[in-house]
Structure 1
Amino acid sequence: MKNKFALGAAVLAISTTSALAQDWSGFYAGGGIGNLSIDTSLDGVDGNSTTLGVHAGYRFDLGEAVLGGEFEYDAADVELVPGAVTADSVMRLKVTAGYDLGSTLLYVAAGSAQVNVDGLGDEWGGFLGLGAAYEIAPQTVIGLEVLQHEFKDIAGSGIDADATSVGLRASWRF
């Protein structure tokens, strides 16, 4: 009887573990919707806008740790000076490091971003952020990210900007 109980407990433990196990390795791509809020070093020159974007990347599942790289592009229309200066897009080259919780992945993100400011020009800066991804089906993942960007001396104008993006994402794994 003890052996049957031990065997049953072992089978239950293995089946529970394999049910929770998730392999995050592989390519993925998707789209998202969010908000981009920009605050510049000039008093009263700020704004925010809805963003629509696309992303593609690859993740390596190393057990509990998950590492990845991603390209992301968000189109925006942040009016900083009405009729004169608008942030049109943000492009990101991203590195992620996360913790595998089964069907949920919690991660930090960092990298370089380029903001395109119509009326000033383009500028590269850095960003840091947090994200979470949740598998809703074997090939489908939804997620949420919050990223904080810093851009210095945009296109040599002497204007600095801090930007916060919040995005809801959907990805398909293949």
Structure 2
Amino acid sequence: MFIKNILLASTAVATLAGPALAGGMAAPAPVQDVVVVEPAPVMGMDWTGGYAGLSLGYADVTDEDEADGASYGAFAGYQYDMGSWVVGGEVSYDGYDIEDGNNSVDSEMAAKVRVGYDAGQWLPYATAGVSQLNTTIGGTEYEDDGYVYGIGTDYAWNDSWTVGAEVLKHEYEDYAGSGDDIDMTSVAVRASFNF
């Protein structure tokens, strides 16, 4: 009887131990925590603040006759970064080297609003405002009010300097009571210091 019990016990142990030794009852692998790494958010530049700079460009004037020439100017403004959108205002003064016989376009002052999209170091924008054009026609100086609108883009070279380009349309209806409209398109490159 004793031998019979030992044989039964040995058979039971062998039956239970067999699969464990064969790998069938391997201990389960420890559960590891899954760590999800999300990409860091793209941080835009903070465009809030004042700026002032210079511009150099080209302008094409269309009235009864067409004339074109160089433009050069200075501008200053302030803008506020609201997250994805940047809004602000700007004043500018531009001189022109545009002559057609006894007639010339001399200078222009403008006050504009700007609305742009914060794309990191880039700031594409639309702008519109009021302007005053000074001309010399037949030896007499004239000035009249009109409006200006266009698009542009700025690139933040670093925290202090911004470079960019701007295309504007300038419109003056019935300029100085002459019955003639003056339309001008200007293209300029710009550089400004941010403060």
Q: Specify if TM > 0.5.
A: yes
Q: Tell me how far apart the structure 1 counterparts of residues 150 and 191 of structure 2 sit (CA, whole Å).
A: 18
- % identical equivalent positions: 38
Partner of 1:71: 91
Provide the TM-score with structure 2 as the length reference. 0.78
Matches within 5 A, 1:9-158: 9-10=37-38, 13-14=40-41, 17-18=42-43, 21-40=44-63, 42=64, 45-80=65-100, 82=101, 84-119=102-137, 120-158=141-179
Contiguous gaps of at least 5 residues in structure 1 = none
2: CA distance between counterparts of 1:2 and 1:125? 67
Unaligned runs of 5+ residues in structure 2 are 1-31
Q: Aligned letter for 1:85?
A: N
Query: Displacement, 1:112?
Result: 0.7
How far residue 71 of structure 1 moved from its aligned partner, in angstroms, is: 0.4
Q: Which amino acid aligns with 1:23?
A: D
Aligned AA for 2:45? Q
RMSD over aligned CA atoms reads: 1.4
User: Which amino acid is the alignment partner of residue 157 of structure 1?
Assistant: S
How many residues end up aligned between the 2 structures? 161
2:183 partner letter: D
Higher strand share: 1
- Superimposed CA distance per residue, residues 122-149 of structure 1 (whole angstroms, 9 cap, x where no aligned partner): 1111121001000111110001000011
Q: What TM-score, normalized to structure 1?
A: 0.87
Q: Residue 2 and residue 130 in structure 1: after superposition, are their counterparts in 2 closer, same or farther (change >3 A)?
A: farther
For 1:58 and 1:156, the matched residues in 2 are separated by 35
Q: Which structure has the greater CA radius of gyration?
A: 2
Q: Provide the rounded CA distance (Å) in 2 between the counterparts of 1:36 and 1:58.
A: 25
Give the structure, 1 or 2, with the largest relative contact order (CA under 8 Å, sep 6 or more): 1
Q: Residues 80-101 of structure 1: CA distance to partner in whole angstroms, max 9, x if unpaired?
A: 3x1x110011111110001100
